[in-house]
Amino acid sequence: MSEKTIHIVSHAPHANMPAIPAALEQPSGVLFDARNRPLQDLRISLTDKCNFRCVYCMPREIFDNDHVFLPRSALLTFEEILRMTKIFVAHGVSKIRLTGGEPLLRKNIEQLIEQMAKIKTVDGKALDLTLTTNGAILAKKAQSLKDAGLSRITVSLDALDDATFKRMNDADFPVSDVLNGLDEAYRVGLDSIKVNMVVKGGMNDQEILPMARYFKNTPYTLRFIEYMDVGASNGWQMQEVIPSAEVVRRINEEMPLELVPPKNVSDTAERWRYKDGSGEIGLISSVTKAFCHSCVRARISTEGVLYTCLFATEGYDLRSLMRNGKSDAEISTALAHLWRARGDRYSELRSAETEGIAPARKKIEMSYIGG
């Protein structure tokens, strides 16, 4: 195998200071971008720290013991997160996903969730409040998360074989502890639990069938995610991508599948169910089947930078607006102007213009903004 050249970038690309329009406006509860995509989902990163060193996200050769993470003063406070959430919800956001890094490392996260759970959508409904975790401390946290008001949870698990999983997480963390966390989350009553497996060719693709067999006929929905070219630290190469179509082919040969119509046009996962009625799987194909046309997600980094695309090269510094004394009306209007100008479609352009090879752009790191 040839050696890879990994180009390191700052984990925070350039952040622009959003302009405050002279004419302030009241949010109408719906906001469309330049491609007629509404703002509906918001992902908030709570920390850039993680207790794993996954090879596709935070490889240890870069995020080593000398790596400097953000100081506490740089992080959005809970009060700032709540304020920002209310501003986004007023523009039509109904789903909030807490992410990281590893969000369960954020101290007193239950207090934040308890306050977020009190926020209502523009039509008076409860927020769809969910969280993505590596599951390392989920067994300890599941009950308190449920009690605080968390709606749903997604757990990352890239293999059932312990040796493979440990190579992936590079933290000597066993599969059994993640499975215990999943079972505890189910026991306490967290709904619609999903398990995400990032499939990297030559690393864990031999685990596709064992994972499918294990989670078939369980309360959990297994989702396979194509290895993505997020950031620059993971040394992404197209030949390491296992297309979702190949995942379906392998599973279908042993456990017949049929395609399920999407529930919502903005769903990122293509759904397939087992023909024997024993559950379903999901396929997230951001490399081979771009879904930019239906993307309704915005992302806020740990330090309050807004990114309108997972593959962004620059963001917009909302934290500075808050800390410089700007009003909710000013921030809300600035957000409206930013979203209306949004034309992001990175994955579509990658597929159309580069024949599957990611261009050399300084993109945001996944560990900084979450998946």
Per-domain boundaries in the chain: 14-184+294-369
Instruction: Work out the number of other CB atoms within 10 angstroms of the CB of residue 112.
Output: 22
- In this prediction, the residues of the chain whose per-residue pLDDT falls under 50 are 1-11, 352-360
Closest CA to 4 of 56, 69, 63, 66: 56
Q: What is the pLDDT of residue 357?
A: 42
Instruction: Give Cα separations from 66 to 7, 56, 62, 234, 346 (angstroms).
Output: 18, 19, 9, 18, 32
Enter the tokens of residue 111.
């207090």
Enter the tokens of residue 124.
């008076």
Residues 162, 203: contact at Cβ < 8 Å?
A: no
Q: What is the pLDDT of residue 364?
A: 60
CA–CA separation, 280 and 111 (whole Å): 34
Q: What is the pTM of this model?
A: 0.87
Q: What is the pLDDT of residue 351?
A: 53
Enter the tokens of residue 232.
């620059």
- Say if domain 14-184+294-369 classifies as CATH 3.40.630.30: no
What is the residue type of 143? Q
Q: What is the pLDDT of residue 288?
A: 83
Greatest Cα-to-Cα distance within the chain, rounded to the nearest angstrom: 62
Q: Which residue has the tokens 């002279």?
A: 22
Q: What is the pLDDT of residue 3?
A: 37
Q: What is the pLDDT of residue 239?
A: 77
Produce one character per residue of 65-89: b if its CB has 16 or more CB atoms within 10 Å, e if not.
eeeebbeeeebbebebbbebbebbb
Enter the tokens of residue 47.
């920390």
Instruction: Give Cα separations from 256 to 100, 250, 252, 280 (angstroms).
Output: 35, 10, 4, 11
Q: What is the pLDDT of residue 188?
A: 97
Enter the tokens of residue 66.
């000398």
Residues 236, 200: contact at Cβ < 8 Å?
A: no
CA–CA separation, 223 and 334 (whole Å): 36
In which region does residue 29 sit, left (phi positive, over 0), alpha (psi from -120 to 50) or beta (all else)?
A: left
Q: What is the pLDDT of residue 370?
A: 62
Q: What is the pLDDT of residue 4?
A: 38
